[in-house]
Structure 1
């Protein structure tokens, strides 16, 4: 069956209305409207309808329902206005035919894609139900009626496959294909694969009499659950994978005694796998992958002797691998990976001589394992044992090793200390994965001659390799698509892959030299990571623009210099770029303006270079940009407000402009536009990352992801974030020359975890709105010119672990309570006017009698109050005969605050006089 098609297979003799897309039970009817002025149809549509009529014979036996009559009989060329014809409705304004109802019209004959019916492009509702189309197939040309919202072809003797093109009718809300039969068979199937179904699936459908096939997979928004089965079922095939079906499998599932195929992968089923499932003696295909099943593998499964496929991959199944699995000798595919299985792999598995694919990856399996047992399995081509606690033991080369034809081998984290010798006898290897072992030294020469024509993926990351034991830097594998040797100790020049390469990762080695211009020939590159090596020279300017598929360019922590290559400069080139990381190099000049064409770019990281440029406001229009890290460069000047009064950087979550030469006031317009920082709702991802699926030769698909990282600096201490949760936001504008006051708008960025504005020239007070940032973990406002008191509202910051307001002009009592009691003196030093327990400096006690001098809280800057205060000092000076009154008036205008001793001095002077 063509299971990749929508409504793929034959709907044969199934008494069921298939209400697709909305799964709504309703019966739209065709309504004739009485018009004051009858619309007049177009000549071409009138002609098309007449030709359609002439292609059929009128036969009263063609319609079965009472009241049937040939609606087309009165259609003729003399009555030119087809809008007045029976069954035809036109648009009142345009005159186009929008509805055609020929239900029960006694039509007999075949219909094909050349029919003039399909030239009626404005039609929205069409019913040809209860006619006889002589077992012809539904024409693929139906897709030309793209405006259809209603289509009823029920009871009209169509048969065969429903055309894939019907899935292109995106406006369709009602589809009825019921009561159509294939005269040559009695098999009855309901196949609604990948049809954008949504809503709740009706459990009554499981109980339809004579139903043999039910396939609704790849409808992610379709929910449902299994019913209880009280009677025996005729179902042979049941596929619900990649839907929202959930709940438990009922113990009554054994009523499906005819079932041969059950596929419910990637749903939300849970609970234990019912023991009764082992009673389905006819089942050959059992796939329960990617659910939440718990418990053990039911012992009753040993009765399923017809099984060819058993997949329990990615659940929460515990216990050990049962030895009786070796008795299921018809098995061709056995997937138990990504579970919680423990213990050893039983020797009985080697009896599965028909087994082609065995996956035990990512469990808690342990013990020493004789690898030769797998070489005896004559059909085995795909073997994955990695990410367990196994220690593999390899025997000397034997005849089985030379006969074995392994295509995929996964032995990650299997305590290997060298490349297994049997690999030298494999000439059909396609995928070899040996990460996380203890393989050291140079790759042996025989390994470089292994499967040079067939190998498409090689992963040997996280070992101790030092080189490739060959003079040439060109890798020998002709069709290599994935090459991952990251986190080794490779020395020498950068290895050069073939033009077929798609994923190239040499991160964290000791490679040196320049990047060869041969990389410009690699037009299929998705992913290139050269970070953390000793590479130098200029990066070839063709890199990136040579590929239209490039997703990531990561060159960080090397010694590259020169101008940054242009990316996205040509139409379509590098238009898929998601992340550019050029940090910790010696790049010079400006950021390429062509980057504004990288329309799905998520991250720009160019920190620690020698760039000299103004703020890249032109990146603000990129709709997906999440990270902008310009730290430690020569960016300079005033950041101007955007010329267009539209939101900029709306998805930005990390911005680091620190250690540059920016001046002036940071525009509040940008802060107001940072919408992604205002929400604390997860976008469904665990961490901020870029993820892709890449297809290699021979049908291999693998996932590549890069988790975004960053460093948060406060109090001179760098705190690395190896992952950034998707609800976090960070702002670092420190070590510049920003002026003005701290904007109140920062208080609206609810997702902020770190805010660093230190080492600038900011003035005025700390806005109390910062107390709204209840998820803030680090706040650094040190080394500015901030004045006034620390707002009491900041005590609401219950998660703040790092707080620094040192070296400002702050005054008054340090707030007490919550996290503030845990901050030491270094958080507040350099503010002579501050007092409190943290500084071991008591504040002056307040007097019980009213003071003639306003406190800092009372002095709100009101000009009238200030006038009265100044005049009071002048008058006191006049009475006392001293100049001190006038002098103090001058001081208060400039300082606007008086110390306790000065108040006392004036009081004494007043008493003396």
Structure 2
């Protein structure tokens, strides 16, 4: 509790240079808070605690925070900022008797509950005011009484208002600081024109301030302008060039845009220019050289483009240059080597190309160099080894080639060269003497040979990443290592990696996708008490003992997938109470899941993957799974039998496809209101689909119930705000109509109900909608009949559009609105009972590659307009009732006769039946059929695509086949994307 300190300011006879001051200072009735205040200000302490008139310094002018006029001895300034004061300032406070006071600073104290007493007006000599109070009476006080005010500090004051208009009346004001005052709205239009003496303006950290900037007056004396961390927008006014005295300009993290006014590049007194995190565009002009006094330039995270002007090299006083995260292109001018005072240089995340200039080796004061995420090529300049002060070198994500430089600066702490084309071995001599090196990342290159032992002897090295190279040999480490992060995945390392037991400081260890072999005793990890992340996956010849009795570390993430010699669940998991992610997929684990497996990690487990094993069921089938935090569960591609187990409410990804599960889908699934992905396909589930699935509309994105024994009606899965993207109910025994609510699925991109017994579409009067601009990446699996073949898509990204309603009992005419689905690539309506003509509107499906209308009862002529479908690679019109000539002279005429068989009335190439010359060759009429199905059909633009595996390459459909890469498992993506390995920086 605060303690009241009586008479803490008693200066009745303050003595200075032999003079006795008159009784000017009596008692400031305040309190000192015994606890540090809540404001995060450095160097706070109670200054008045040592103010004494007896038994101490009697001269008040020597007291902390007090300043006196050297001639008169009057107190002219009091600074009690950050002095732990609290409580109200009352009108009878003797503070207001200091009639000669010129400066008062009470900032960063706790006067939050008080208003400004009108007695402040007695301080008519005050020219500088630093306050930290509520400003309800500020306007009247300042405009009526404190007209001599020259400096006003209100930093941290909760004004919660627009910038007051009355500030424009303070014509003597030179210093205005309103930082973090919770201001909002636009600035008064003429505020900068009305304050001719302003030199310092700080309106920073007021996120509510917006609008464009007012004009600046000609002849302005402003030296500092700080509008950072606001929401001002639009272009900078040309009148900013009137700030001829400006030395410091900070507009960081706002919303300014457009080209920088040319007048700004004439502000020759400018020493600090900070415009980062805005939306400025255009090129940097050659005239930037006019700013010869610049010491700092911060232009990162904008939209600047074009080449870098060579005149940058004329700014010889620069010590900080950040142009990162823009669109700069072309080569880096060699003139940057002239900036010999530079300590920080960032050109990262641009489109710069060519070689890295060797002239950068002249920057002998440089400590940080960022050139990552560009298009640099060639070798790393050896001249960088001369940068004796360099601590951070980042050249990652370029096209650099060749071998590592012979030497790096001895002072270097962080080296990032990942994602390049570097080759050769890692020379021990290049790194052996880097005693200050803390992080080394050479991953995703083409390094060969063995890993030098010297890397594990560096005394400061904490993070080492050598992933995805071509390193060979056994792993040899040292017990001198201080490593906490080691990632060697994607190499060709061999042997048993038992030497990792020497790395006793490790927290993260990634050794996946190597050629390790032999038997690894898990007991070696008992020495690594801090180990949390362990990835040994995809070492197919590596075996593990399952009998260790040693105390293992508490893993958080454990990945042992695709280690094919694992045949049972590791017993050490019983003690892993902190485990958050476990991946044992793609192994040979068989039998039942033991009862003890349901007892570990119940509070912490978030991701569990046991897919692609030989598990047959549960030793004791739980009604509900026990893991309270589980959000990813993948058990697909096993031999599971018995009922479908329900997870807890935290789940959002649940896959048990390709098993032998039986029984009904429990309505408890409808209570999983966070469920996004539900994959139950290829089982023996029976019963009806719970109609309550509609309750999941706001979360469920993928619902795949394909290839089961489900019957009944198609559920109402859509409603307002539906998130459903994929719906696959094919190969079941459903009946009835597609519910009209399906048109409410505004994000629906793929639907399949083939071979399900659906008879028709329900009537719906909704207007036509086009779905297909859904930008979020969707990863899921599905099957679609394309070009006559049923193909599985293991990983799906939504850019390939498909409608497959084949093998049902649809009837009636094909809706003319189908021609409005311009994104369609696959349309399969085969094996139904459609009748009538083909709508000529299908000519608008210009992206269509596969069209299958076979085995229906369609009639009339094949529209000549279909010849405009130039991308069409598969066509099947067989087994219908078409008549007349097959359209010639375009795409339709290129298909074989098998595409048209079973239509007795068709004639012309490629059929052997020739058309009679008297037959009309005119195209079939454009029959505008408006059926009850039109509106529901018009809402369908479902999407399907197969994507590549690890590298993100997108695969299309080529010759009717899907190209699947070497790691064909969805959960690899789930685990890699959601729990991406931590890269230490």
Query: In structure 2, what is the equivalent of residue 58 of structure 1?
Result: 121
Query: In structure 1, what is the equivalent of residue 361 of structure 2?
Result: 326
Q: Deviations over 1:238-290 (max 9, x none)?
A: 23333221211111111121222222223222222111111111212222223
SS at match of 1:415: strand
Q: 1:269 aligns with which of 268, 290, 304?
A: 304
Q: Note closer, same or farther for the CA distance 1:857–1:434 as it changes in structure 2 (3 Å cut).
A: closer
Deviation at 1:387, TM superposition (A): 2.7
| Length-normalised TM-score, structure 1 | 0.65
Query: In structure 2, what is the equivalent of residue 469 of structure 1?
Result: 520
Query: In structure 2, what is the equivalent of residue 776 of structure 1?
Result: 848
Say if 2:836 and 2:860, in contact at 8 Å, map to a contact too: yes
Q: Note closer, same or farther for the CA distance 1:560–1:228 as it changes in structure 2 (3 Å cut).
A: farther
Query: In structure 2, what is the equivalent of residue 306 of structure 1?
Result: 341
SS at match of 2:522: coil
Q: 1:828 aligns with which of 890, 896, 900?
A: 900
Distance in 1 separating the partners of 2:911 and 2:821: 31
Q: Indicate yes or no: 2:301 matched with 1:240.
A: no
Q: Note closer, same or farther for the CA distance 1:213–1:314 as it changes in structure 2 (3 Å cut).
A: same
What is the correspondence of 1:427-826 to structure 2 with a 5 Å cutoff?
A: 428-430=461-463, 432-437=465-470, 439-440=491-492, 442=494, 444-445=496-497, 448-449=500-501, 451-456=503-508, 458=509, 463-466=514-517, 469-472=520-523, 489=540, 491-492=542-543, 501=556, 510=564, 512-513=566-567, 518=573, 534=588, 543-544=605-606, 566=646, 569-570=648-649, 573-574=650-651, 577=652, 583-584=657-658, 603-612=677-686, 614-615=688-689, 618=693, 622-623=697-698, 627-640=702-715, 646-647=719-720, 649=722, 652=725, 654-671=726-743, 673-674=745-746, 679=770, 689=777, 712-717=784-789, 727-735=799-807, 746-759=818-831, 766=838, 769-784=841-856, 790-792=862-864, 794-808=866-880, 810-816=882-888, 818-826=890-898
Q: Deviations over 1:214-236 (max 9, x none)?
A: 33333467444363666352222
Q: Deviations over 1:779-803 (max 9, x none)?
A: 3344456566545554443332223
Distance in 1 separating the partners of 2:676 and 2:520: 39
Alignment RMSD? 5.4
Say if 1:429 and 1:455, in contact at 8 Å, map to a contact too: no
Distance in 2 separating the partners of 1:203 and 1:723: 53
Q: Indicate yes or no: 2:284 matched with 1:249.
A: yes
Distance in 1 separating the partners of 2:125 and 2:848: 75
Query: In structure 1, what is the equivalent of residue 953 of structure 2?
Result: none
Distance in 1 separating the partners of 2:606 and 2:552: 16
Q: Note closer, same or farther for the CA distance 1:675–1:240 as it changes in structure 2 (3 Å cut).
A: same
Deviation at 1:161, TM superposition (A): 7.5
SS at match of 1:302: helix
SS at match of 1:803: strand
Query: In structure 2, what is the equivalent of residue 348 of structure 1?
Result: 383
Query: In structure 1, what is the equivalent of residue 398 of structure 2?
Result: 363
Distance in 1 separating the partners of 2:894 and 2:141: 81
Say if 1:631 and 1:656, in contact at 8 Å, map to a contact too: yes
Q: Indicate yes or no: 2:231 matched with 1:192.
A: no
Query: In structure 2, what is the equivalent of residue 104 of structure 1?
Result: 143
Q: Indicate yes or no: 2:454 matched with 1:382.
A: no
Query: In structure 1, what is the equivalent of residue 910 of structure 2?
Result: 838
| Length-normalised TM-score, structure 2 | 0.61
Q: Indicate yes or no: 2:407 matched with 1:373.
A: yes
SS at match of 1:104: helix
Query: In structure 2, what is the equivalent of residue 92 of structure 1?
Result: none
Distance in 1 separating the partners of 2:896 and 2:583: 42
Q: Note closer, same or farther for the CA distance 1:52–1:252 as it changes in structure 2 (3 Å cut).
A: same
Say if 1:390 and 1:415, in contact at 8 Å, map to a contact too: yes
Q: 2:266 aligns with which of 211, 216, 231?
A: 231
Distance in 2 separating the partners of 1:598 and 1:212: 59
Q: 1:414 aligns with which of 446, 460, 463?
A: 446
Distance in 2 separating the partners of 1:475 and 1:330: 46
Deviation at 1:327, TM superposition (A): 3.1
Distance in 2 separating the partners of 1:232 and 1:757: 70
Distance in 1 separating the partners of 2:272 and 2:388: 27
| Farther off after superposition, 377-386 or 599-608 | 599-608
Q: Note closer, same or farther for the CA distance 1:826–1:658 as it changes in structure 2 (3 Å cut).
A: farther
Distance in 1 separating the partners of 2:236 and 2:668: 49
Distance in 1 separating the partners of 2:187 and 2:116: 19
Say if 1:620 and 1:648, in contact at 8 Å, map to a contact too: no
Say if 2:706 and 2:728, in contact at 8 Å, map to a contact too: yes
Q: Note closer, same or farther for the CA distance 1:318–1:55 as it changes in structure 2 (3 Å cut).
A: same
Say if 1:270 and 1:292, in contact at 8 Å, map to a contact too: yes
Distance in 2 separating the partners of 1:400 and 1:475: 29
Say if 1:658 and 1:732, in contact at 8 Å, map to a contact too: no
Deviation at 1:819, TM superposition (A): 2.6
Q: Note closer, same or farther for the CA distance 1:778–1:240 as it changes in structure 2 (3 Å cut).
A: farther
Q: 2:332 aligns with which of 288, 297, 305?
A: 297
- Larger % of helix: which? 1
Q: Indicate yes or no: 2:294 matched with 1:259.
A: yes
Distance in 1 separating the partners of 2:579 and 2:296: 39
Q: Deviations over 1:752-798 (max 9, x none)?
A: 32233445566666555544433222233444565665455544433
Distance in 2 separating the partners of 1:738 and 1:663: 11
Say if 1:437 and 1:463, in contact at 8 Å, map to a contact too: no
Query: In structure 2, what is the equivalent of residue 336 of structure 1?
Result: 371
Q: Note closer, same or farther for the CA distance 1:528–1:337 as it changes in structure 2 (3 Å cut).
A: farther
Distance in 2 separating the partners of 1:221 and 1:463: 50
Task: Indicate the structure whose relative CO is greater, using CA pairs within 8 Å and at least 6 residues apart.
Answer: 1
